[in-house]
Copies of this chain bind each other. A is one copy, B any other.
């Protein structure tokens, strides 16, 4: 069995954002007082580690240690200065061409559609594009759990266009892309 401090660490890590103490005590099935003890134990065990706990009256959060700020900053600079690369460009292209055009019925592209067209998992690419402000996600009107991605206005400006329909070979490439997406709807069935 996992000790409470380790369980707390796993929860905070997977959450990625501040976690309410109230909610944590429920999840871990301990009292708020016990939780404070557990937070103390975890905090001390993170000494000499690259992570640290930020604790307020109501919340707890796992963060990179302040001593690591230089190297983490270097990482982000590195990430932002880098070329997008093949995977992210393909992902962006699917979003750009699949979205928009004459019929505005289809606003944005879902992750499942991108994965399907590319034939590989695109989570990492979507993450990169989001972090760089090139795409943004919006809740699907029909399915609240699904997010649809589209290009940001900054990205359009960078490309020197006002709408994606101005992209080269737009009609042709959009038709092919949408035909592939249709295929998905037909075969969206049992796991293989």
Which A residues have a C-beta under 8 Å from some C-beta of B? Answer: 1-3, 5-11, 13-18, 27-28, 45, 48-51, 62, 64-65, 67-68, 71-72, 74-76, 78, 82-85, 87-88, 115-116, 119-121, 123-125, 127-128, 130-133, 136-137, 145, 154, 190-192
Residue contacts A-B, CB under 8 angstroms, 25 given = A1-B67, A3-B48, A5-B50, A6-B49, A7-B50, A7-B68, A10-B50, A10-B68, A10-B71, A10-B72, A11-B50, A11-B72, A14-B64, A16-B127, A17-B124, A18-B124, A27-B71, A28-B71, A84-B191, A87-B192, A88-B191, A121-B154, A123-B133, A127-B192, A128-B191
Q: Is the CB of A27 within 8 A of B74?
A: yes
Question: Could you say which of A6, A10, A127, A154 has the most chain B C-beta atoms within 10 Å of its C-beta?
Answer: A10
Question: Could you say which of A6, A50, A121, A125 has the most chain B C-beta atoms within 10 Å of its C-beta?
Answer: A50
Q: What are the residues of chain B within 8 A of A13 when measuring CB–CB? A: 13, 50-51, 62, 64
Q: What are the residues of chain B within 8 A of A82 when measuring CB–CB? A: 191
Q: Is the CB of A119 within 8 A of B131?
A: yes
Query: With the chains together, A13 CA to B170 CA distance in Å?
Result: 30
Query: With the chains together, A130 CA to B133 CA distance in Å?
Result: 19
For A2, the closest partner residue in chain B by CB is B67
Query: With the chains together, A123 CA to B132 CA distance in Å?
Result: 10
Q: Given A10-B50, A192-B85: A75 and B27 within 8 A (CB)?
A: yes
Query: With the chains together, A10 CA to B121 CA distance in Å?
Result: 25
Q: Given A6-B67, A28-B71, A84-B191: A120 and B131 within 8 A (CB)?
A: yes
Q: Is the CB of B136 within 8 A of A9?
A: no
Query: With the chains together, A136 CA to B119 CA distance in Å?
Result: 11
